[in-house]
Structure formats: C-alpha cells, structure tokens
Structure 1
Amino acid sequence: MEVAEKERTPGLSLGEEKNMVTQLLLVNITVFILLYFIKIIFFMEGYQEPHFVRDIMTNTMVSASPGTLLVKPWTLLTAMFAHLEFWDIFSNMVWLFVFGTILQQRAGYKQIPVVYVLGSFAGYATYMAAVNLLPGVFPPVTAGSGIMGAHAGVMAMAAGITFLSPGLRVFPQLWRGGVPVWIFFGIFLVVHIASVSLGDGSMTNLAYMAGGAIAGAVIALALRNGSRFGDRSFDLFYNITHIFDPKKVEPQS
C-alpha cells in the first residue's frame, strides 16, 4: 500500500524544521567545510597529509578492523557525514536531494533520518564483512584506512523509494507524464559502478553502498506492510533530545 504523510510535507527550504532532507544537507556540508579548514590549518602549521590522516581522519572514518571500531565507537556517527573531496560531496548531495525529497513526500519527514542512519549502519556492516572476509577482492586493512561519506545513507533512500513506489513517476517537467523513479535509481547505480570501473572510485564504496541498498529495501517493504517504525524511532529520539525543554503553556481563553 502507498504510505502518505498526514501532515503537510514541506518542499526544500531553509528554516523548515520538518524538512529532514534540508537538515541532512546542512549537516553534511557543514562537516565537509569543517574538515576542509582543519586540513588547511594542518598544512599551514607545517604538517603533512599523513599527520592529518592519523590525527583527524582515523578518528572520523569507520575502520574495517573490529578492534579499532570498539575503541572509537563515535566514528559510527561521524563517518556518515564526512567527506574530503568536493566532487564526492557534490554528487552525494545532489542524489540526496533527489531521492530524499521524493521519499519525504511519499513516506513523511520522520522516515528520512531513520533511513539515512540505518542505511549507513548497514553499509558499515557490509564494508567490514567484505574487507575481512574477501581479502582477495578488497584491499587489506591498513593503518589510516576506513570508510566514510553519505554513500550508504543516500543509497538507502534510493532503494527505499524505488521499492516503496516502483511505479512512481516524478519530475513531469523533464518528460511528459514524469520519469519513472526506477530510472533515476538505475542511473545512480550505473554512475557509481562506472566510477569504480574507470578507476575513479573504490570497490569498498560499492560494498558500503550494498548495505545501504539492503537496508533501504527492507525499510520500504516494512512501510508497504504498514509499519511505522521510523516514526516511533524519530519521536523517541526527539523526546530524548528535548527532555529538558520547557513545556508549552496553552493560552487561556
């Protein structure tokens, strides 16, 4: 069945607290700028790339080594928002806007952060499994290596909306009647596979994104069956983070 948001789902706009796509875009871009300036400061102080990787990036990326992850659990959060290359974040943010906006309109804003986070977590799992179980295919774990970026979270949104509404047509201004959402999903896959084939990407990114695809598909199927796990998770997190907020006083008539 189709899932529709009971409340008005906002378009992309700054300052709209119910637009989770905007919030994710802002967080990713802010972290990118922060890492970029930290890197500049390192170079201005006379440090080299290895020092930046050792001191900053190894504490930001998720390592394929379970032992390293156990002593740096915060990387589970930081890695999903971290980018160093401009074209890397530009591509991810474009696709995040496309798939995130469509998914937000169909499933509601509360699903967006849940899909993004669970997709990233699933991506970590498939990345670690691939590197540790298939050493002949993926590069071995070395000092300073790891995975990061919005790839898995965005893939979860792409797979999510495709499995949730495979017959959905979007952007009618681009084509009469709209373009099927599965075509955008196909383009998204081809672009990333081609990037790896041409040597501009890494096989580890595909392993990372595979987890996101699995998570997105599972969440979509749950939504089609009427599950609102995402809503409950969002509400729980919201209540925890706003536990000390003063209660609103209703005006007396």
Structure 2
Amino acid sequence: MRDGDMLTRLIVINVLVFVIVVFIKLFQFLLQRNFADQIIEWFTLPTFLPLLVLRPWSLLSYMFLHEAPFHLIFNMLWLYFGGLIFLNFFSERQLLGTYITGGLMGGLLYILSYNIFPVFEPVVASSTNRGASAAVMAIIIAAATYAPNFPVRLFFVLEIRLWVVAVISVLFDLASIERGNAGGHIAHLGGAIFGYLMAKSYNKGISLTQWVFDLSDVVLRIFKPKKLKKVYASKGYTKVYSKDANLSDRQRLDQILDKISLSGYDSLSKEEKEFLFKIGKQ
C-alpha cells in the first residue's frame, strides 16, 4: 500500500457517507415524506443505554457520519493534515487502527459521561453524537505525543511545534464543555486520551491498535466459505466398469463417488474404501 492510501480511503468513506445523507434528505424533500431523520438516527451514537443495545453498530458508524457540510470539511481537513504528520512516524495500519479505536474511545467516554454526571440527566434519553472528530483527535494527539517537537506551519506563515497544537486543542475542548455541544467535546477528549496512550505504548513495543485487525480476521474467517477438499480419483475410480461388474456394483460405486465429491475421501467408511480398492483392480 502506498503512503497515504489509507488516509485517502478514510476521507473518501466520510465523503461518500455524507453524499448518501444528502440524497436521503433530498428524496425526503422531493417526496414530501418524513423519513430521513429516522434513517440517519439509526447510525448516530445514542447515550441512552437501552437504545445503544438495539444498535451496537452505531459505535462504529457514528465516526463516519456527518450531516453539516462545514462539520465534514473541518474534520476532513484536520484528518488530512493530521494524517500526513501521523504517517511520518506510523504505518497505514496504525492510522486505521488509531482512527477506529480513537473513535470508539471517544464514543465510550461520551456515553459514560452522559450516564454518570447529573447535568446530563435531562437529555440522556435523547442525545446522540456523530462525526469523525474524536477519531481525528486521536491521530493528532498520537503524532504530537510521539514527536512533540515536529514543526507545523500554521496558516503557511507561523511555525510552531506540534505539541502546541495538541495542547491548544485539548484546552479548547475542556473549556468548551459547558458552553455547548458538551457531548462532542467530551468525545474529542476521549479520542485524545487514546492517542496519547497509543503513542506511549508504541514506544514500549505495545500495539493498542492490533485488536482491530485481529477482530477483522476473525470476522472474515467466520463469513468466508470453507473450501471443499479436492479429491482426485485415480483411473480405477472412473465410471468405466469391467464386463464382470454387475448393476448393483455400479450403483454402489456411483453412491460412493457422489459421497467423495460432497464430503471428501476421508468421509468414507473402511468398507467403502475396500470396495473402491477392489473395483479399481478390476
């Protein structure tokens, strides 16, 4: 995989999901039917636990879902520039693993906070979250933790260190929790926590993102159809019989050959194998 391929794919997936959302809302407008919100809601991340149990996939889907154009543009710009910096020190697989796990960490902290702190009690049953912000924050903080003095040119003019960008981002989210969109800022902090832990663990030779690929391998093995064992019959097993073979032998041979084609030679009983051996010598 060429450098940047995974970064491009993540951006493309986010954009495609946004385009789908746009078309859903467009059809709602044209058909004058109220169905868009109900469809989109199934992919947002709820804080109400009974609802989360009904749609567990939302822990993954929410981090690719945007409804507002500027929300998408801002997150994708952050993802692009943060991802390019990240790839200076980490692999494509680690980029994907950090995106997914950072998004999950952000989502879980968001859910936990809304179910613990009394201030969120009035809205816990109706609150939902969406967007790649937590996943992107994980990528940026991981890079800043691993290489804090990496130079970043702000607005193509002012050069600052990457750790400064990370600190400002975290402080901004902390200060913004009480000012609105508390759930979003809490999720960002969850992503930041994972990004920090990911980089620190990487320095110790520990991968916190490997589970993503281990799990995907397990899922692929479950749904991948098993290949039937090929059995190549010798010339003696073909349906060419000697003049001495009677009709019942032919019928039995047909049954055994059918059994081999379905289940393999090892499925035959000892008696059936002996019968094949005897027919093969005729």
Alpha carbons 1:60, 1:82 under 8 Å: kept: yes
The match for 2:140 among 138, 158, 164 is 158
Asked which structure has the greater CA Rg, the reply is 2
What is the DSSP-based 3-state SS (H/G/I as helix, E as strand, rest coil) of the residue aligned with 2:92?
Answer: coil
Give the distance between the partners of 2:164 and 2:30, measured in 1 at CA. 46
Aligned to 2:183: 204
Alpha carbons 1:156, 1:215 under 8 Å: kept: yes
TM-score by length of 1: 0.77
The match for 1:52 among 36, 50, 57 is 36
TM-score by length of 2: 0.69
Letter in 2 for 1:47: R
Give the distance between the partners of 1:95 and 1:172, measured in 2 at CA. 12
The match for 1:237 among 189, 202, 216 is 216
What is the DSSP-based 3-state SS (H/G/I as helix, E as strand, rest coil) of the residue aligned with 1:179?
Answer: strand
Give the distance between the partners of 1:26 and 1:71, measured in 2 at CA. 28
Deviation (angstroms), 1:171: 4.8
Aligned to 1:5: none
Note the residue ranges of structure 2 that are not aligned, 5 or more in a row: 228-282
Give the distance between the partners of 2:112 and 2:211, measured in 1 at CA. 30
Superposed CA deviations along residues 199-221 of structure 1, whole A, max 9, x for unmatched, are 6x511111111111111111111
Aligned to 2:110: 127
Superposed CA deviations along residues 132-159 of structure 1, whole A, max 9, x for unmatched, are 111315761244x311110110111111
Q: How many residues align?
A: 224
The match for 1:218 among 172, 188, 197 is 197
Deviation (angstroms), 1:68: 0.8
Aligned to 2:160: 179
Note the residue ranges of structure 1 that are not aligned, 5 or more in a row: 1-7, 13-18, 247-253
The match for 1:80 among 45, 57, 63 is 63
**CA 1:215–1:173 in structure 2 vs 1: closer, same or farther (change >3 Å)?**
closer
Alpha carbons 2:177, 2:186 under 8 Å: kept: no
Alpha carbons 2:138, 2:192 under 8 Å: kept: yes
Aligned to 2:79: 96
Give the distance between the partners of 1:84 and 1:173, measured in 2 at CA. 27
Give the distance between the partners of 1:130 and 1:233, measured in 2 at CA. 25
Alpha carbons 1:138, 1:204 under 8 Å: kept: no
Aligned to 1:15: none
Q: Which has the higher contact order (CA 8 A, sep 6+)?
A: 1
Following TM superposition, the consecutive aligned residue runs of length 4 or more in structure 1 with deviations greater than 6 angstroms are 193-197
What is the DSSP-based 3-state SS (H/G/I as helix, E as strand, rest coil) of the residue aligned with 1:56?
Answer: helix
Deviation (angstroms), 1:91: 0.6
